[in-house]
Amino acid sequence: MGIQLTETYPKVVAANSRQTLYFSLCGSDLESGVPQVKVQPMEVHTVSHAPEYLSHQEDRYPWISLTPAGDGLYCAPIDFAGEQRYSVKVRLGDNVFYSGYVYGVDPDLAALRPYKGDTHLHTNCSDGWESPWDTICAYRAVGYDFVAITDHGRYYPSVDTQAQLAPLTDRFYVMPGEEVHPKGGSCFHIVSLDAGRGVSPVLEQQPEYVAAEVDKILAQRDLSALPDPWAAAFRTFVAREIRRAGGIAVMAHPYWECGGEYNYQTVEFLHHWRQGDFDALELLAGCDDTGNGNNLQEILWNDLRVEGCRIPVVGASDAHVPRDRCDYDHFNHQFTLVFATGYDDLSAGIMDGRAVAVDRRDDKFFRCLGPYRYAKYARFLMREYYPAYGALTVAHAAALAAQDTAALAAAEAQIDAFLAKFYAL
């Protein structure tokens, strides 16, 4: 009865090329006619609109008859223009029974793949609820490609888990991480990513060195306009120490409301970015139940960019529980998409501005913030890639949780088959 589309591929193609699109169709209506496809570029097109510009959308581009390719597969060669999203419709007679999208990318973007990651989260090695292993399996189950475990004052959970994971799979990655605080604890937090060592031991075990370095900064900079010059100098020191350890210094949740005030005062936020103290901004942070903090961060990020400040961004859940929507956690709602060549390119991708912060309400409604080109491509992937990919990583995560190598290999073969169809690059 009727007609049904069960699969269509590829979804990402090379811009300015001819590519064959495939559609798996079934249903008795196929006996009544020839299905047709129409591909419409969203903005860059090779066919002039005039004089048809005012015509109905359905008439702007031609319908192309699909050719049977066996086993219910139908295909058509399509000429793709510039890098952009294309809408794809398939019909039989007057019945338009499929509507979706394909994305064309230029060669430099074609060389990169998206890596969905959380750059700030906790396990029971600090104040999180679950073990590092259970935590990373929960992330993998919802389509993450990497996580940075950033326990408070502790670097070892990230590198220990990385060492445990690496022999089992190369399809998921734990990045070294740590959330750094002043000795004795404090409300201002700085996330260290991809460093070669922990920074907290320096703060805890070398007070003379710390004091001397902070004093140097106080002597070099006029911090008199700031409410707490020592705190500002200390944050600058911590960021420098993270860089000395080979890591990325991330300004964590600046507008997190802690103890009745914001984590960073606005003048402090502006000071650190104008000085270039940090490498990336946690533009979208999970510890924000009302959206107030993320909203203020986004506004200031915009204002500073107008000033000429270059500020790479990440999105992070700061989840303490790896489950959806607990009272105060935002697992799988704020995250980062990094466009990179591999795991060893993730840090460079963040630093180079190839990262997009995502605020996801569900698979249909989400916001992507970052450089326009990447954020636009991220929007397409959020709709067309991640739901399908996430369905496949459920089995991979289960195999990982059981440390079952045969099941891991089977899940990875399924993922590889999906990726080979999804990307025609």
Residues near Zn ion (CB under 5 A) are 179, 189, 318
Task: Please report, to the nearest 10 degrees, the dihedral formed by the alpha carbons of residues 177, 179, 181, 183 taken in order.
Answer: -60
Residue for token pair 């959970």: 157
Q: CB-wise, 148 or 350, nearer to Zn ion?
A: 148
List Cα–Cα distances, 97 to 23, 42, 68, 159, in angstroms: 12, 20, 17, 49
Q: Shortest Cβ distance from residue 189 to Zn ion (Å)?
A: 3
Q: CB-wise, 35 or 198, nearer to Zn ion?
A: 198
Q: Shortest Cβ distance from residue 395 to Zn ion (Å)?
A: 30
Following DSSP, what letter does each residue of 137-170 receive, concatenated? HHHHHTT-SEEE---BT--HHHHHHHHHHTTT-S
Q: CB-wise, 145 or 179, nearer to Zn ion?
A: 179
- The span from the CA of 298 to the CA of 374, in Å, is 17
Q: Shortest Cβ distance from residue 188 to Zn ion (Å)?
A: 9
Query: Residue with the closest Cβ to Zn ion?
Result: 189
Q: Shortest Cβ distance from residue 293 to Zn ion (Å)?
A: 12
Bridge partner list, 331: none
Q: CB-wise, 188 or 380, nearer to Zn ion?
A: 188
Q: CB-wise, 10 or 157, nearer to Zn ion?
A: 157
| Cβ pair 139, 321 in contact under 8 A | no
Q: Shortest Cβ distance from residue 223 to Zn ion (Å)?
A: 23
CA geometry: angle 422, 20, 75, nearest 5 deg? 100
User: Backbone phi, then psi, for 249, in 5-degree steps?
Assistant: -95, 115
Q: CB-wise, 25 or 232, nearer to Zn ion?
A: 232
Q: What number of residues does the chain have?
A: 425
| Cβ pair 156, 198 in contact under 8 A | yes
Q: Cβ neighbours of residue 352 under 8 Å, at least 6 residues apart? A: 312
- The span from the CA of 185 to the CA of 152, in Å, is 9
Q: CB-wise, 41 or 315, nearer to Zn ion?
A: 315
Q: Shortest Cβ distance from residue 317 to Zn ion (Å)?
A: 9
